[in-house]
Every structure is written in C-alpha cells, then in structure tokens.
Copies of this chain bind each other. A is one copy, B any other.
C-alpha cells in the first residue's frame, strides 16, 4: 500500500479496555495524532491554527474496525489527504507492524471554522495539500 505519510508507535497498556484490546475511541486518537504529525512535519501547528482563530474540526468520521490491536503491539499509522469542496478528506490505514494486518481503515472529513464561521479552507492548509499531492507516495 502507498500513503503520503506514516508514523510508527506502540500500543500503550492504558489504551486497552477490559476486553484486552485497544478501545474503539483510542483509534480516533491514533488517527488524530497521525493527522497532526502529518501537518506538523509540514510546518503547520494545530494549536497555532487555533491561536490564529482557525479551528480545524472533524465534520464526519467513518471507521471500519478490521482487526484488534492488543497490549504492546507495534503499529504503523498511515495517512493521505485530498480536498473535496470545503472538506479536507483524510484517509487513514492502521496496520499491525509484525504481520502488516490491516486493523483500522478510516475516512475523516475536516472543515475549517475561521473566527466562528465555516470557511472554504485555510491558506496554509490549501498550500500543504497542493504540495503533498505533487509529492511521491511512500510504500509501507
């Protein structure tokens, strides 16, 4: 599979629930963290955006749970992004490292609320999208 960006990490024990598997909501955290890292390494800070009056907020999330991560599993959290109208659409794939099994596939649609009003986008994010869509993909 090819993606625009990825991070590797390990399941933290407190992220597992009483079934011994990573809790559903935690995958939302994993995808958020991958998105924010993707932005950060490209010079965009989520907290600075907020300080400037631009809140990037999730409008819609679709998450498919394919296989469960467990205590101390290593995983690869991949992300790609494109713009569709007002929306920045992030595609997420989370794989277990040791066997490349797909654990979670998600589509996250983000919009920008600038000074309280839904906006067409935000300049530095639009520039980032243009740049990244012309960059080569990464093979995982």
Q: Which residues of A contact B (CB under 8 A)?
A: 10, 12-14, 16-21, 23-26, 28-29, 32-33, 36-37, 40, 45-47, 50, 55, 57-65, 68, 70-72
Task: Say how many copies of this protein the assembly contains.
Answer: 4
Could you say which residues of chain B place their CB within 8 Å of the CB of A65?
Answer: 57-61
Chain A binding surface SS class: mixed
Instruction: Evaluate contact between A14 and B20: CB separation under 8 angstroms.
Output: no
**B25:A32 contact, CB within 8 angstroms:** yes
Q: Which residues of B contact A20 (CB under 8 A)?
A: 18, 47
Given contacts A23-B32, A57-B65, 18 further A-B contacts (CB under 8 A): A12-B32, A13-B18, A13-B32, A13-B36, A13-B47, A16-B18, A25-B25, A25-B29, A40-B72, A46-B71, A47-B72, A59-B64, A59-B65, A60-B64, A61-B61, A61-B63, A62-B63, A63-B63
